[in-house]
């Protein structure tokens, strides 16, 4: 069963269409990375999944039930993108309250709260007012809060924004740990490298439309295959290699100490280059497709969509 | 997933609400606003009581002497035998007139504006602060009804404000009664004669606080910024308590037949008067006022309202805003 299933979701704020058509399927037990640039509709989608916002069209199901229903809310933990706390409240009291909201008895809620605080690395801060915590600690408190009540689905909305690299790593490590325990994690971010490190599934949203989803590995491979027409080659005998390449009809030029080549069909250059190197008796230092990072793949996807939108509009 | 039965759901919700109230009460005690609230509840009442009792003492003494004289008690040689009774009578009179009238004055004329201000400040964040802070999305995505959130927060506020009101007035009352009557006198003469007045005073001051709190909560559920919600309800409440009186002065007494129903401090004032004095004494007083002529007696008469109606209005002014606040919070999207 899918933890989250969204079909044809549409949401309008006044005259602004926030979500045109979002389709998502998040299988149970995966760490799902929900990717998109700022303003693409990630938070809106999440709030609809939680039942905080009403959809204007389409269907949203969480664990097979209507999103936002009482039964569903028992199984969800949520960390919002922006959360401030009442500064005078103690960490443990805040978590205890959240535990009570999750139908826990106060004594059990307090015990669980203390355990979770230790787990997120806030040991010794349990009885301190939230106001004394640093930004990174507050974010870990937010994560702790999302874990109260042992939810099956954990929704984290940009958990690493506003954090320094160390804070980021701490949060991501915890997310990885949760994922390895078999929890379903729905993780939104606009930073691709983050998603790459923790997620196995991704969905990409842009301008209120999901433009791609599936296994991260598959998406990356497919896109790189489609995109990788530009290659970069670094050898010791640059001019000789270049002349052989031009003879063989490859479109190539030199940029600094690198040779930039364009392949007409995939796999062609991979087979050709070894022969060229042997012919020129050159030593290979680097041969790589340009733009194999997810960042560039993402940018390309987004630019394709913008182009289509421009044409249709 | 196993569906719960209705009974189980109701019991879960009730026990959960109870725990939520406990946590809320604990958290209110730690806010700075609460400390200001507490100080404001205690200080003015005490100041006014002391000044009132001192200024009214000769008048009260005269009244007691007259009463004893008329009853033949104050004849020569008998005074000593009745000195204790005289002191008790004096004490009770001061408690009855001094304490109740001064507290009444304090509640309705002096501290009503500070009470309105501080209660507004204390409740304006009921829903709005959670929206502002971003904790509301967290809370409402848990298995809890939004109505529960509003009502438990309000209940916690109601409990705390009741404790504070009761404490403020009882402290003053017992200090007063003890100094005037002594422990035994207070126990056997003072309490039976005057305790109902104290209870009436506490109860209606509390109702007054709840009125303000409920109306502010309503604005808190409509307006996203708590300070804006507070200011809006403060302006409206102050207008409701000041404007009617000003309108009467400028536009004539006739307008009061309409505005008197919305002047919350005035309604509370009349209710305290009615229930602490009792039916007979209340209408005797009213009769005295009616017999007088002049503009101010006209104003007082024009603002008179049937105590039953006043009671219904002040209770509806709690219930209706609160239900509206719940409905609005249930329906509104959490952005």
B137 and A54 within 8 Å at the Cβ level: the answer is no
Q: H-helix or E-strand containing B267? A: helix B264-277
Mean pLDDT of chain A: 86
Q: Over the stretch B216-250, which tens digit does the pLDDT of each residue have?
A: 999 999 999 999 999 999 999 888 877 777 777 77
Chain A residues whose CB is inside 8 A of the B140 CB are: 52
Distance from CA of B215 to the nearest CA of A (A): 23
Which residues of chain B fall short of a pLDDT of 70?
1-3, 44-46, 48-50, 52-53, 56, 67-87, 96-111, 253, 293, 295-296
ipTM exceeds 0.90, yes or no: no
Class of residue A264 by CB neighbours under 10 A (exposed 0-12, middle 13-18, buried 19+): exposed
pTM: 0.83
More confident call, A263 vs B7:
B7
pLDDT of residue B99: 65
Distance from CA of B38 to the nearest CA of A (A): 18
B143 and A101 within 8 Å at the Cβ level: the answer is yes
Contact A60, A155 (CB under 8 A): no
Of A79, A88, A100, the CB nearest to B20: A100
Q: Over the stretch A19-34, which tens digit does the pLDDT of each residue have?
A: 999 999 999 989 999 9
Contact B298, B123 (CB under 8 A): no
3-state secondary structure of B100: helix
Contact B298, B245 (CB under 8 A): no
A52 and B137 within 8 Å at the Cβ level: the answer is yes
Half-sphere exposure of B294 (CA within 13 A, CB side): 6
Of B1, B129, B141, the CB nearest to A52: B141
What is the mean predicted confidence (pLDDT) over A220-248?
78
More confident call, A277 vs B315:
B315
Label residues B265-304 b or e (16+ Cβ within 10 Å = b): bbbbbbbbbbbbbeeeebeeebeeeeeeeeeeebebebbe
Say if strands A57-62 and A201-206 run parallel, antiparallel, or are unpaired. unpaired
CA nearest neighbour of B196 among B99, B55, B263: B99
Q: Over the stretch B12-29, which tens digit does the pLDDT of each residue have?
A: 999 999 999 999 998 887
Strand order in the sheet with A2-13: A65-66, A57-62, A2-13, A16-27, A209-215, A201-206, A31-35, A184-189, A153-157, A76-79
Chain B residues whose CB is inside 8 A of the A106 CB are: 19, 22-23
B137 near A CB under 8 A: yes
């Amino acid at each position: 069963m899918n933890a989250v299933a969204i079909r044809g979701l549409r949401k309008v704020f006044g005259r602004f269409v926030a979500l045109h058509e979002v389709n998502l399927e998040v299988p149970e037990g995966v760490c799902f990375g929900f990717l998109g640039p700022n303003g693409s509709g990630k938070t809106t989608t999440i709030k609809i999944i939680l039942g905080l916002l009403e959809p204007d069209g389409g269907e949203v199901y969480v664990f097979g039930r209507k999103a936002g229903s009482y039964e569903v809310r028992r199984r969800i933990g949520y960390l919002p993108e922006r959360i401030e706390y009442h500064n005078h409240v103690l960490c443990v009291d805040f978590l205890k309250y959240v535990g009570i909201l999750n139908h826990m008895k106060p004594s059990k809620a307090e015990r669980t709260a203390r355990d979770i605080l230790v787990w997120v690395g806030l040991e010794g801060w349990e009885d301190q007012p939230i106001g004394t915590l640093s930004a990174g600690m507050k974010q870990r408190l937010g994560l702790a809060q999302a874990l109260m009540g042992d939810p099956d689905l954990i929704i984290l909305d940009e958990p690493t924004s506003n954090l320094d690299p160390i804070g980021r790593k701490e949060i991501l490590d915890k997310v990885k740990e949760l994922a390895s325990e078999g929890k379903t994690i729905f993780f939104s971010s606009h930073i691709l490298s983050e998603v790459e490190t923790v997620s196995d599934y991704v969905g990409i949203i842009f301008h209120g439309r999901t433009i791609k989803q599936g296994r991260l590995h598959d998406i990356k491979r497919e896109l790189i295959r489609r995109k990788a027409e530009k290659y970069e080659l670094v050898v010791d005998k640059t001019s000789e290699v270049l002349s052989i390449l031009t003879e063989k009809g490859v479109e190539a030029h030199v940029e600094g100490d690198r040779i930039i080549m364009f392949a007409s069909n995939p796999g062609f250059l991979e087979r050709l280059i070894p022969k060229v190197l042997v012919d020129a008796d050159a030593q290979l230092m680097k041969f790589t497709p340009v733009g194999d990072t997810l960042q560039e793949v993402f940018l390309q996807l987004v630019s394709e969509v913008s182009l289509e939108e421009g044409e249709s509009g | 997933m196993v569906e719960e039965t209705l009974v189980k759901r109701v019991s879960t919700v009730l026990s959960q609400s109870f725990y939520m109230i406990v946590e809320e009460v604990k958290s209110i005690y730690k806010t700075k606003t609460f400390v200001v609230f507490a100080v404001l509840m205690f200080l003015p009442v005490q100041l006014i009581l002391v000044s009132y009792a001192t200024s009214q003492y000769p008048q009260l003494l005269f009244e007691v002497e007259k009463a004893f004289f008329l009853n033949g008690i104050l004849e020569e040689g008998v005074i000593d035998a009745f000195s204790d009774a005289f002191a008790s009578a004096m004490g009770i009179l001061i408690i009855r007139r001094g304490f109740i009238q001064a507290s009444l004055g304090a509640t309705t004329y002096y501290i009503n504006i500070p009470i309105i201000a501080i209660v507004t400040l204390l409740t304006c964040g009921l829903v709005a602060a959670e929206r502002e802070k971003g904790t509301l999305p967290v809370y409402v995505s848990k298995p809890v009804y939004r109505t529960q959130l509003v009502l438990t927060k309000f209940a916690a506020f109601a409990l705390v404000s009741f404790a504070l009101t009761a404490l403020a007035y009882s402290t003053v009352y017992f200090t007063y009664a003890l100094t005037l009557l002594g422990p035994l006198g207070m126990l056997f003469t003072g309490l039976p004669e005057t305790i109902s007045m104290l209870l009436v005073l506490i109860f209606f001051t509390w109702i007054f606080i709840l009125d303000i709190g409920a109306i502010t909560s309503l604005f808190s559920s409509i307006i996203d910024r708590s300070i804006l919600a507070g200011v809006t309800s403060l302006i409206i409440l102050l207008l409701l308590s000041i404007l009617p009186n000003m309108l009467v002065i400028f536009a004539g007494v006739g307008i009061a037949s309409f505005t008197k129903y919305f002047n919350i401090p005035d309604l509370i004032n009349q209710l305290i008067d009615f229930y602490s004095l009792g039916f007979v004494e209340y209408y005797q007083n009213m009769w005295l006022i009616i017999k007088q002529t002049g503009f101010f007696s006209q104003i007082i008469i024009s603002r008179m309202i049937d105590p039953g109606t006043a009671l219904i209005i002040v209770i509806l002014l709690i219930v209706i805003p609160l239900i509206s606040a719940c409905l609005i919070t249930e329906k509104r999207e959490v952005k």
